[in-house]
């Protein structure tokens, strides 16, 4: 089951109490203070990993508390520290403090680890309070409480290419032909109920990751259909493939393209402004040869790159993949130039 949102409660362990104690030894009639310190409470950490691709493990286990510190003892014995816990999340997870709405951290790489709830400090025993004036203090400190927070976890898939379009535009069929992903394919709307990732092998050790996003309909940004639940997954993509069904079963291709474009713009202008390739699909089911031409002429007027394919027969797929490779190379070069420029400024 693909779960991309979860609410969790985390709490650092409480620190152990210090203790008031005195030496009790034979031939030491006036033993000094010997109360040990309490141990520190354990802390809660969050770490990203590539071995997970869902937040399902938090759905039925929302409470996470680190171990408490042990109390101090006599003879200046310090209490043991509480055990830390590490919560694993998929790469692409955004952690937000639910109380303030502040983004705590955005995990974009594997192996990142952050402290999310600090453990409480252990209290001092009376041995720590001894001074030349007060040689036999009779007080100690209680341990501090651990930090407590409610957090919202939101997963945004990290992919190079995102497939968008109306339901039954052919996204699932396309990703199944160009990668090893095997989403459910059927002839009814909303067959795809959750995003799917696939790795496309271009040869010569070149690959890219493609994400199949559930179909959008008019009003999706406001919750219609599957709503904007999965639109967040295209936020991190570098390139969009906008699939448009040009078979006789679809409506007007240009109108379909504009419908999805309006939903992307209503959701986020940054997402709508991403580099894009328009792909006419289902050429094998054409009943009017002019339908792809009308869409192609529209794309030329709009300055959009256009390709026509049939995932069922494989027509046009090689040309499309080469075009995607070229666009990704240009995007990566642009990103490197920007990074170098920022490094010089810093």
| pLDDT for res 107 | 94
* C-alpha closest to that of 79 among 137, 122, 32: 122
> Using CA atoms, how far apart are residues 207 and 7, in angstroms rounded to an integer?
34
**Contact residues for 90 (Cβ-Cβ < 8 A; gap 6+):** 48, 49, 50, 52, 53, 54, 55, 107, 155
Looking at the whole model, is its pTM more than 0.85? no
The region, left, alpha or beta by phi > 0 then psi within -120 to 50, assigned to residue 64 is beta
* C-alpha closest to that of 86 among 108, 64, 103, 55: 64
Look up tokens 């409506």; give the residue: 251
Q: What is each CA distance from 62 to 7, 10, 86, 116, 316, in whole angstroms?
A: 7, 8, 14, 15, 47
Kindly list the domain boundaries of the chain, sorted by start residue.
Answer: 1-24+31-155, 161-345
- State the helix-helix crossing angle for 290-302 and 253-267, rounded to 10 degrees: 40
| pLDDT for res 188 | 43
pLDDT, block means (10 residues), the chain with 346 residues: 83 96 79 92 95 86 95 93 95 93 92 96 94 90 96 87 86 86 56 70 83 67 53 83 83 87 87 92 82 90 93 91 92 85 78
SS3 257: helix
| Segments of the chain assigned E as strands | 5-11, 44-49, 63-65, 85-90, 93-97, 103-106, 113-117, 148-155, 161-164, 196-203, 206-212, 239-245, 276-281, 305-308
- State the helix-helix crossing angle for 317-345 and 171-178, rounded to 10 degrees: 90
Look up tokens 């100690």; give the residue: 140
| pLDDT for res 237 | 87
Q: Are 237 and 211 in contact (CB under 8 A)?
A: yes
| pLDDT for res 263 | 84
Q: Does domain 161-345 have CATH number 3.40.630.30?
A: no
Q: Are strands 44-49 and 113-117 parallel, antiparallel or unpaired?
A: antiparallel
Q: Are 74 and 20 in contact (CB under 8 A)?
A: no
Instruction: Write phi, then psi, for 273 (nearest 5 degrees).
Output: -85, 0
Query: Which of 2.70.210.12, 2.30.30.140, 3.40.50.720, 2.40.10.10 is the CATH number of 1-24+31-155?
Result: 2.70.210.12
SS3 128: helix
């Amino acid at each position: 089951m693909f779960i991309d949102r979860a609410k969790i409660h985390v709490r650092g362990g409480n620190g152990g109490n210090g203790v008031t104690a005195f030496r009790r030894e034979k031939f030491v009639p006036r033993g000094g203070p010997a109360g040990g310190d309490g141990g520190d409470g354990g802390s809660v950490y969050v770490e990203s990993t590539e071995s997970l691709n869902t937040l399902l493990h938090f759905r039925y286990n929302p409470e996470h508390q680190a171990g408490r510190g042990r109390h101090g003892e006599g003879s200046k014995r310090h209490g043991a520290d509480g055990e830390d816990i590490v919560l694993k999340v998929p790469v692409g997870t955004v952690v937000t403090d639910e109380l303030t709405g502040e983004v705590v951290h955005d995990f974009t790489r594997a192996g990142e680890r952050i402290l999310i709830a600090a453990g409480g400090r252990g209290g001092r025993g009376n041995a720590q309070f001894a001074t030349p004036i007060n040689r036999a203090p009779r007080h100690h400190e209680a341990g501090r409480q651990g930090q407590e927070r409610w957090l919202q976890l939101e997963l945004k898939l990290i992919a190079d290419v995102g497939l968008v379009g109306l339901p039954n535009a052919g996204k699932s069929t396309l990703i199944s032909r160009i990668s090893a992903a095997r989403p459910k394919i059927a002839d009814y709307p909303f067959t795809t109920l959750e995003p799917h990732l696939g790795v496309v092998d271009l040869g010569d050790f070149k690959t890219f990751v493609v994400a199949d996003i559930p179909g959008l309909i008019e009003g999706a940004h406001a919750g219609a259909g599957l709503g904007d639940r999965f639109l967040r997954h295209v936020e991190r993509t570098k390139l969009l493939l906008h699939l448009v069904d040009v078979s006789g079963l679809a409506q007007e291709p240009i109108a379909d393209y504009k419908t999805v474009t309006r939903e992307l713009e209503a959701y986020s202008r940054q997402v709508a402004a991403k580099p894009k390739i328009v792909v006419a699909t289902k050429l094998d089911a054409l009943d009017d040869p002019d339908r792809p031409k009308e869409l192609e002429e529209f794309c030329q007027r709009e300055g959009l790159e256009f390709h026509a394919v049939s995932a069922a027969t494989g027509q046009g797929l090689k040309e499309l993949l080469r075009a995607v490779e070229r666009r990704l190379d240009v995007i990566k070069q642009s990103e490197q130039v920007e990074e170098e420029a920022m490094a010089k400024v810093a």
